Structure 1
Amino acid sequence: MESSILPTMIRLRASANSFLSQFEPLAIVVVPIVSFLIARVLQSFIQVIQERGLKATIIGFFMTLVKLVPGVKKHIDAEKQKIVDKLQSSGKSLRGDWKTELPNTGLGTRVLEQMKDFKQKDPAWQGKCSGTVYIGGNESEGHFSLINEACSMFAHTNPLHLDVFKSVVRFEAEVVAMTGALFGSKEKASGGEICGNMTSGGTESILLAVKSSRDYMRAKKNITCPEMIIPVSAHSAYDKACQYFKIKLWRVPVNKEFQADVKAIKKYINKNTIMIVGSAPGFPHGIIDPIEELGELAFSYGICLHVDLCLGGFVLPFARKLGYPIPPFDFTVQGVTSISADVHKYGLAPKGTSIVLYRNHEIRKVTSLLITEWSGGLYVSPTIAGSRPGSLVAGAWAAMLSLGQEGYLEHTREIMEASKRIQKGVKEIPELFIVGRPDMTIVAFASNIIDIFEVNDILSSKGWHLNPLQRPNR
């Protein structure tokens, strides 16, 4: 029987080979294409996992599948619209009797009485707000009075007009120079060309640093499709910058210490990369990224490195002098090309004052706008804003000079000690734990036992306004 089956199998195999051979030319073309497409899909899937994490990727994939079920997407969209409608209606109720047009007769000085009445209805924020106001304690009242007087004195000035308001122009130059000195301008390693401008806040400083990096790298490497790599802990201002300036953004997960993962960032660097970012410290957890390692990486690839010192700019230099183990974070690190630092945070200046600094004039000059053909004459602007409030520049100058080195050292000593007391208190609560190892004054805490958002709601009801974090929830 076996002898009769064998010839049959041979004939069938021959027939099959003959049939398949007809498709061989097609297979030569199709198989590589299919293989390429499968490889790209797998690469994209792996990339998404690297960006968002395995858990978030699986949840996202599951939600996509759920939305394919008839009626589900429509229901989700309807629920979203309900939330939007609720927010809009609550906004209208909040406005209540808000004025919508000018009064026929002006109130004169009586307007101050109304302002005082409105101010009294604001919650008491002194010492109870996180990430909002950075001065409190017994000395705050006198410092506020000094700043208010300085701002009032220069309330109608504008540093855009260099020839008219020479005083505030000088104030800005000196604030920039004094801040640059804190970040290494006097040290040989920095190159000694540090320059910059005052801005309206950390977001504008970051926007300018990103734009400068984009334009600088376009001139240096002819990069026309720019990309930027940042850790997930970096501020949302970078998302805004990328939307404004048409830059592709890669957000990379942090390491187990909640720091920027240098190896992960390196994997994303390509021919279109213009810059990477580090924070000192990051806003969510108060942890300093490995700036030295990021500097080495940026320098080796010839790309820009921006250090976000908006929180730490007026603490870290003084904390180091007080003996705290602060790692290198400024222009003394090779590879750092720009820095942002807020004077209106721990610099104790009026709200609306920040600084963007560049390693040299070559990087800075691509930011300044120079219009020579306008019928209104020559127009030069080094920041996003044209006209700027000279009062805030004067207020920052007054704050820095009134406090001096000794004032900032004392202030830093107090807030660093307060941070240690907070950490000690959190550790004494069994249900809570501290996220990572805070380097400065920001302390993030969480729980694996209780709903941390519910804890935040209870604190808010008692007048404590803290910043809730997410991914992971903190």
Structure 2
Amino acid sequence: MESLSGLCSYVDEFRGFANQYLSNYEPVVLVMFPILSIVLASFLQSLIGVISDKGLKAALLGVFMSFFKLVPGVQKYIDGEKQKVVNKLQSSDKSKRDGWASELPKSGLGFGVLDRLKDEKANDVAWQGKCSGTVYIAGSESEGHFSLINEACAMFAHTNPLHLDVFQSVVRCEAEVVAMTAALLGSKEKCSGGQICGNMTSGGTESILMAVKSSRDYMKARKGITKPEMIIPVSAHSAYDKAAQYFNIKLWRVPVNKEFQADSRAIGQFINKNTILIVGSAPGFPHGIIDPIEELGELAFKFGICLHVDLCLGGFVLPFARKLGYPIPPFDFSVKGVTSISVDVHKYGLAPKGTSVVLYRNHEIRKCQFVAVTEWTGGLYVSPTMAGSRPGGLIAGAWASLMSVGMEGYLEHTREIMEASKRLQKGLKEISELYIVGRPDMTVVAFGSHNLDIFEINDIMSSKGWHLNALQRPNSIHICITLQHVEVIDGFLKDLRDSVQTVKENPGPVSGGLAPIYGAAGKMPDRGMVGDLLVDFMDSSC
């Protein structure tokens, strides 16, 4: 985060490169005009192809920038400006990396490494009760729960469910975690097509990747689709962008409605003969709002395509909230048309990090997730998920968490966090400068401001130790309430009121804050340039 803050002070400088270039190289541009006119035909031809993928505005800008970079010196200038940013980032980050190990120690440290790890851990920020999401267990029982899952993980740290015949215990743990999760999400309903089934994965992103890959291959086998497309609301998780890139699927992002839900009518207009999948979230990560899963299910069933529901956040909250009497709309396999669901056990399931579940309505769809290799000299090979070897210790830890907490425990946890969410929303409504984005259905609450820079407010909150999530379109921030926050809602609201007052009295970016980068990114017309800057930042940080 500190490195990202260092990026902020250089963003405005980088943004101005185009105007500076044009003012410095105007004669070159005039000389090049005849050449540019010659390539106009090629420009128009490329534009037509890109419009169908990205829309008119983005296509015009993208193609223009592509041809603008062909002007001699422009690309070199851009690369030079980006390198300046990267160099400054590397320079500011260098001091933190001094003393980092770059090769194996000559003599092993043995148990001395534990002391080294304790020293490193002491440098982490104070996250207890201050982070949006991140850590989901808290309270008087947290120490005992951490000890329990840590012991379970350690007991099975050597295991690998790839070896089904050797580690039968952890194979059973995975099967039972999947079955218990499915039981919460409609497996006992009368679902046609066979028994709900699934596998554990390393997290929500892998669960989504697996669901998209399975949907692609299932629709190819069923309908012969070889140029697959999927349609998602703009609020859907960025994991779908990864899936589109990894699996060569055209991705359509559709605007949400005025309630910030997936617009089923708009999504329906994008469905064509190549559509394999549409997506809904319960709730969506940005604003904590449940998409109209029933409407999306009707669409999927009508057109004979797949529907994936992202329950990574809601899987271990919504079933219990419904039992507690909250007005939760249908969201799971009880909805006709839902073909797959992703659920993170390491969030509100309170399992160790790196545990999620992907579920399918039937075995026919799940079989499309598997990879079988018959011609390898190493023997016959089959694997269910992205990874070959998988950490059996995490699977055992997830099983231990579900079995130790139980139905009554999850009901009580859900009652606490849902009540905390309501207290937070009430407090936000009392701060006149802020507004809540949409109507949150669960424990993610997003808020913005009509007259103040919400990112400046976020920077002040960061200086007070709070770690929130910055959002865009609309500019806002959110907090994902966990058991960590149940006892600190009042403190959060007090700090938020003080931060709002500070920005009112002293508007302007905080030194080292994130407001400049979000503000600059929002004004950059070329989103490809924003992406390049993010990639260069990540490359310099790893």
TM-score range, shorter chain: 0.7 to 0.9
Amino acid at match of 1:245: F
Amino acid at match of 1:346: Y
Question: How is 1:257-296 mapped onto 2 (pairs within 5 angstroms)?
Answer: 257-296=259-298
Q: Give the 3-state SS of the residue equivalent to 1:366 in structure 2.
A: helix
Q: Assess, with a 3 A threshold, how the Cα gap between structure 1 residues 41 and 160 changes in structure 2: closer, same or farther.
A: closer
Gaps of 5+ in 2: 1-40, 477-542
Amino acid at match of 2:463: S
Q: Assess, with a 3 A threshold, how the Cα gap between structure 1 residues 292 and 101 changes in structure 2: closer, same or farther.
A: same
1:168 pairs, out of 170, 188, 192, with 170
Match of 1:15 in 2: none
Match of 1:48 in 2: 55
Gaps of 5+ in 1: 1-33
1:190, 1:332 within 8 Å by CA — same for their partners in 2?
A: no
Question: How is 1:36-185 mapped onto 2 (pairs within 5 angstroms)?
Answer: 44=51, 48=55, 77-185=79-187
Cα distance in structure 2, aligned partners of 1:180 and 1:386: 24
Provide the identity percentage: 77
1:219-257 CA distance string (max 9 Å, x none):
011100101100110011000011110001011111110
Residue range with higher mean Cα deviation, 74-83 or 168-177: 74-83
Task: After TM superposition, give the deviation of residue 71 of structure 1 in Å.
Answer: 7.7
Question: How is 1:300-319 mapped onto 2 (pairs within 5 angstroms)?
Answer: 300-319=302-321
Task: After TM superposition, give the deviation of residue 380 of structure 1 in Å.
Answer: 1.6
Q: Assess, with a 3 A threshold, how the Cα gap between structure 1 residues 214 and 42 changes in structure 2: closer, same or farther.
A: closer
1:256-290 CA distance string (max 9 Å, x none):
10000111111111111100000000000000000
Cα distance in structure 1, aligned partners of 2:320 and 2:99: 48
Match of 1:13 in 2: none
Cα distance in structure 2, aligned partners of 1:93 and 1:471: 36
2:362 pairs, out of 360, 363, 376, with 360
1:446, 1:473 within 8 Å by CA — same for their partners in 2?
A: yes
Match of 1:197 in 2: 199
Task: After TM superposition, give the deviation of residue 92 of structure 1 in Å.
Answer: 3.3
Task: After TM superposition, give the deviation of residue 43 of structure 1 in Å.
Answer: 11
Match of 1:460 in 2: 462
Q: Give the 3-state SS of the residue equivalent to 2:99 in structure 1.
A: coil
Q: Give the 3-state SS of the residue equivalent to 2:231 in structure 1.
A: strand
2:208 pairs, out of 206, 209, 221, with 206
Task: After TM superposition, give the deviation of residue 89 of structure 1 in Å.
Answer: 3.2
Cα distance in structure 2, aligned partners of 1:65 and 1:245: 28
Task: After TM superposition, give the deviation of residue 72 of structure 1 in Å.
Answer: 7.4
RMSD (Å), alpha carbons:
2.5
Task: Give the paired residue count.
Answer: 433
Relative contact order, higher structure (CA 8 A, sep 6+): 2
State the TM-score, normalizing by the size of structure 2: 0.75
Amino acid at match of 1:197: N
Large movers: runs of 4+ above 6 Å? 56-74
Q: Give the 3-state SS of the residue equivalent to 1:229 in structure 2.
A: strand
Q: Assess, with a 3 A threshold, how the Cα gap between structure 1 residues 73 and 423 changes in structure 2: closer, same or farther.
A: farther
Amino acid at match of 1:183: L
Match of 2:9 in 1: none
Q: Is 1:472 matched up with 2:479? A: no
Question: How is 1:316-335 mapped onto 2 (pairs within 5 angstroms)?
Answer: 316-335=318-337
Cα distance in structure 1, aligned partners of 2:61 and 2:372: 49
Structure showing greater radius of gyration is 1
Q: Assess, with a 3 A threshold, how the Cα gap between structure 1 residues 194 and 283 changes in structure 2: closer, same or farther.
A: same
Residue range with higher mean Cα deviation, 448-457 or 334-343: 448-457
Q: Assess, with a 3 A threshold, how the Cα gap between structure 1 residues 85 and 42 changes in structure 2: closer, same or farther.
A: closer
Task: After TM superposition, give the deviation of residue 195 of structure 1 in Å.
Answer: 0.4
Cα distance in structure 1, aligned partners of 2:251 and 2:52: 17
Task: After TM superposition, give the deviation of residue 307 of structure 1 in Å.
Answer: 0.3
1:186, 1:192 within 8 Å by CA — same for their partners in 2?
A: no
Cα distance in structure 2, aligned partners of 1:89 and 1:43: 38
Cα distance in structure 2, aligned partners of 1:69 and 1:380: 51
State the TM-score, normalizing by the size of structure 1: 0.86
